[in-house]
């Protein structure tokens, strides 16, 4: 078990979902948002032909390093998730109109959620991990999509896929392959394994 009395962990994010996962797992942490421009990294990686998985990991790296440079004695956890279809990253919808178009693009398709995390200490990455989940959505008509949007919470527009699997969003899917924690945005089991190993060194 993780010894919270000896753990000095910072989550480089104000994500409600990630904070809830860590709290639920009884992992003590302090949350400090990483003030980075994600679009710069996404545009750079796109121009270089990098995979969505690499982009998720690079975003996690940058968040961890940014906060670690200001908190050099703490372990800093940076994490990111990208939704991609046919090797194209789909950005968070941001509003309900874009949410409709976002879900319409995913309907009937199998898309991938890649969740990555990085651990930084003293401004350097000491551990990183990424994982994929495959989600196959039902064929949805416009009325189905509008019904979903009406029932979903407002903050789904800020999630990578445009849904929360732990809520009404689960009804969109006919098949899911992968870790539940990866879908929620943080591969929790590899993180716990790292923290346990780190504390025994």
Q: Any idea what the CATH number is for the domain that residue 137 is in?
A: 3.90.950.10
User: Does 118 fall in a domain?
Assistant: yes
Q: Using the structure block, give the residue that is written with the tokens 């994500």.
A: 15
In the chain, DSSP assigns E strands to 9-11, 30-31, 75-85, 88-90, 110-121, 124-137, 173-177
Question: Does residue 2 form part of some domain?
Answer: no
- The pLDDT value given to residue 201: 76
Token code pair at residue 153: 């919470």
pLDDT tens-place string over residues 123-176: 999 999 999 999 999 999 999 999 999 999 999 999 999 999 999 999 999 999
Domain presence at residue 178:
yes
Is-catalytic flag, 80? Answer: yes
List pLDDT tens digits, range 8-58.
999 999 999 999 999 999 999 999 999 999 999 999 999 999 999 999 999
- Of residues 98, 176, 102, 108, the one with CA closest to residue 140: 108
| Domains contained in the chain, number | 1
Among candidate residues 37, 58, 61, 80, the one labeled active-site is 80
Regarding pTM above 0.85, the answer is yes
Alpha carbon of residue 134 to chain centroid: 14
On whether residue 4 sits in a domain, the answer given is: no
Answer yes or no: is 75 within a domain. yes
pLDDT of residue 109: 98
């Amino acid at each position: 078990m993780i010894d919270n009395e000896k753990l000095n962990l910072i989550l480089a994010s104000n994500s409600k979902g990630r904070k809830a996962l860590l709290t639920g797992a009884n992992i003590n942490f302090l949350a400090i948002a990483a003030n980075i421009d994600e679009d710069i990294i996404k545009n750079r990686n796109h121009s270089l032909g990098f995979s969505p998985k690499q982009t998720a990991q690079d975003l996690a790296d940058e968040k961890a390093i940014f906060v670690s440079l200001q908190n050099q004695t703490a372990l800093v956890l940076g994490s990111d998730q990208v939704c991609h279809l046919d090797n194209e990253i789909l950005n968070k919808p941001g509003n309900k109109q874009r949410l409709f178009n976002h879900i319409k693009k995913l309907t009937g398709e199998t898309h991938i959620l890649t969740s990555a995390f990085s651990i930084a200490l003293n401004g350097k990455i000491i551990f990183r991990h990424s994982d994929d989940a495959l989600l196959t959505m039902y064929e949805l008509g416009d009325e189905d999509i509008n019904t979903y949007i009406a029932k979903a919470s407002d903050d789904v527009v800020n999630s990578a896929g445009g849904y929360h699997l732990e809520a009404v969003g689960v009804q969109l899917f006919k098949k899911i392959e992968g870790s539940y924690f990866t879908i929620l945005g943080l591969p929790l089991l590899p993180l716990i394994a790292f923290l346990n190993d780190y504390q025994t060194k």
